[in-house]
Structure 1
Amino acid sequence: MSGILTPAEGSFWADEVLMTNNATIALLLGLSVVALLTRFLTMFMAPRLMSKIIHSEKVRSTAVKNSDKALGNAAAAGIALYLVKILISMMDDVDSGIMIPDFAVELIPNVLQFIFAVSIVLWAFRLVPLVQDVVELLDNDDELDGTEKTLISAVESMLRFAIAALGSVFVADALGFDLTSLIAGLGISGLALALAAKDTISNLFGATTVLLDRPFKIGDWVIVDSVEGEVAEISLRTTLIRTAADTIVTVPNANLVNTPVENFGKRRWRRWQTALHLDLNSDPAKVADFCAQVLESISESPVTVKTESSWCQVSTLTATSLDVSVNLYWDVAGGAPERKAKEELVLGIMQLAKDNGLSFFDPRMVQAS
């Protein structure tokens, strides 16, 4: 090895080729081999190590399998950069036979630093889904609710923003930009940038307001202005709402600050009111029994709440029918359970009317007469 580092004059290692010598070429080739071995070793070991740490299969496939190449490239570039700097520092030794052209002394470290910075940024982006794995690990019921999904979406958005900002600084430094001058320039042109990015800044403040005030969470059914649907995603810039037609509407977060939001997901109960139109010839005693039985059926339902505020009473007498008003409250989690409860109640009311010998008003009978 000492023969390569300090080749004797006239030896094979001292022969000059393309502004360098065979010794330097051999060292650079060896350095490349070490970098490639580091890359393959990292790509082989990292997924296996992270697979033991990450619990979620979905996150594992996204964060691990898609990030091994970026991490391998970063490790290879980092090792190569370290070794190249050692070789460059050895050029100052009097007895050193290392010959690296002046342009390469500047170019090679910058290229390796650029590859390292870009690879680290890409790897960091691929690891953002780990937020979901952390939340699932801390979750006790093994099922993510709307609040937890909102937290995941918000944290992932903030991490992506932070990675992009820091990554830009690292990449700019790798490209040789003077960060001090760059920051000073940003200070001078800050007003212009703020004016140009006022919508983006407004959206960021809107996202902060949504996350702090929590007017809704992922999974809630909301009405925002003229948009109605389920909140699908909350990011730093926009909120995505999936409509009943399965389309996605993108709402800028800035609009959410000054726009009323009607959130059906925050309902403590679901009220249902209807009117039963009985035949005018109905027996009053049977109607009273019927109303009492309907109210009892409402009270006995496992999904009924606020039974003291529920009623089933004769409300009015019209020229064509005897109207019975029904009011009740259900504690159900969604539209499907509500429709099921409504179906059971309506069928039960029909059966009670039949058992009491009551019939509902039929407008066809009026037309026939």
Structure 2
Amino acid sequence: MGLYDNLTYSSDDLGGFSESTLIVLASIFIASFIVRFLVSTLSHRFVSVIISNDEIRKKAVKKGDAALGTAAASVFAFIFCSILWDERSENANIVIPSWLEYLPDVLQFLLVFFVVVWAFRLVSLVYDVVKFFDTDGELDGTEKTLISALESTLRFVIAFVGSVFIADALGFQLTSLLAGLGITGLALALAAKDTISNFFGAITVLLDRPFKVGDWVIIGSSEGEVIEINLRTTLVRTSLDTIITIPNANLVSTPVENWGKRRWRRWQSMIHLDINSDPTDVESFCKRTLELIQNHEATTKEDSSWCSINTISAQSIDIGLNLYWNVSSS
């Protein structure tokens, strides 16, 4: 028993359809519009469950609900029309004109097309997602450049995959097409291996955030201040005011020491007092200085701080000073 075995036959054709087939097709498309309405209306509730940020949620619904609803309607219509088309050989009541033979292919094309449109619109959310996870909530020029490159890459991937499925919907030989694209892609990947590695290295810097512009870092044998992060390279200015260009691919496999991530900093100094200074005054000076250090709100590691006589030379009494201050909140 097929899904449409109960169709009643009508000898009066309407535009090449049997009356009952026309009713079924009309029912399918009316139901498809209802599906589109429901998906477009209820998508914001689903998005609210998986996305907590209000700004990202609103943009996701605004940019994707219409295309997603149309894609869902196309899926619904494609499934039931395909079943109807497959049962024609077993059910004489199903009469479909020849000019409508390619309707399932058209619906498959619409499905892929609107899924691609939906995915394209959501790509712009990458900026908002990265900004949401950014510690200071502000993106500098380097980060914006990397985000723009990531968005372009995602759009290319979506367009590439969508083109393959659209070609399948239009009746092209998918096996031959994929074989040709695979050989071409392999050749391009081998030719651009270093460029691709550097690009993904830049994406790693963006996502893992081992450093940012302005940090003092040690990368392998290179040390200096990060002045620019590009798609292919990272530029570091050394203490000699030279610039080192580091390929981003190296950042994936090379340890990075970031001095800008320190939670505290240490300061050591030597205070020279006159050799004829009163020992009691010197001891009082050391004691009061240490108390000031330990009681100051900006200092930390009080137990490791000290202020005491270091050496006594022929000309002076040398007071050694060691303190730490908190920089984690600065």
Q: TM-score, normalised by structure 1?
A: 0.56
Q: Which position in structure 2 is the counterpart of 1:352?
A: none
Alpha-carbon shift at residue 129 of structure 1 (Å): 7.0
Return the alpha-carbon distance in structure 2 between the equivalents of residues 314 and 205 of structure 1: 52
Alpha-carbon shift at residue 259 of structure 1 (Å): 7.6
Instruction: Confirm or deny that 1:34 pairs with 2:37.
Output: no
Instruction: Confirm or deny that 1:203 pairs with 2:198.
Output: yes
Unaligned runs of 5+ in 1: 134-142, 147-152, 242-250, 336-369
Alpha-carbon shift at residue 312 of structure 1 (Å): 6.0
Instruction: Confirm or deny that 1:7 pairs with 2:24.
Output: no
Residues 261 and 60 of structure 1, relative CA distance in 2, 3 Å threshold:
same
Q: How many residues align?
A: 290
Task: Give the percent of matched residue pairs that are identical in Structure 1 and Structure 2.
Answer: 39
Q: How does 1:1-369 map to 2 (within 5 A)?
A: 6-8=9-11, 11=12, 14-16=13-15, 20=16, 23=19, 28-52=25-49, 54-92=51-89, 93-101=91-99, 104-106=100-102, 108-121=103-116, 123=118, 126=122, 164=158, 167=162, 169-203=164-198, 206=201, 216=210, 221=215, 223=217, 228=226, 253-254=248-249, 256-257=251-252, 261-267=256-262, 269-273=264-268, 284-285=278-279, 286-301=281-296, 303-305=299-301, 307-308=303-304, 310-311=306-307, 326-335=321-330
RMSD over aligned Cα, in angstroms?
A: 5.3
Residues 208 and 230 of structure 1, relative CA distance in 2, 3 Å threshold:
closer
Return the alpha-carbon distance in structure 2 between the equivalents of residues 68 and 290 of structure 1: 72
Alpha-carbon shift at residue 209 of structure 1 (Å): 7.2
Residues 78 and 62 of structure 1, relative CA distance in 2, 3 Å threshold:
same
Q: Which amino acid aligns with 2:94?
A: S
* Residue-by-residue CA offset, 1:226-275 (whole Å, 9 max, x unaligned): 763799xx9xx77999xxxxxxxxx9732535888451344253123456
Residues 51 and 275 of structure 1, relative CA distance in 2, 3 Å threshold:
same
Return the alpha-carbon distance in structure 2 between the equivalents of residues 230 and 112 of structure 1: 48
Alpha-carbon shift at residue 117 of structure 1 (Å): 2.3
Q: Which amino acid aligns with 1:98?
A: I
**Deviation larger for 57-66 or 69-78:** 57-66
Return the alpha-carbon distance in structure 2 between the equivalents of residues 312 and 66 of structure 1: 67
Q: Which position in structure 2 is the counterpart of 1:349?
A: none
Alpha-carbon shift at residue 187 of structure 1 (Å): 4.5
SS of 1:67's partner is helix
Residues 37 and 328 of structure 1, relative CA distance in 2, 3 Å threshold:
same
Q: TM-score, normalised by structure 2?
A: 0.61
* Residue-by-residue CA offset, 1:279-318 (whole Å, 9 max, x unaligned): x79955545532331123223446422743644668899x
Unaligned runs of 5+ in 2: 136-145, 236-245
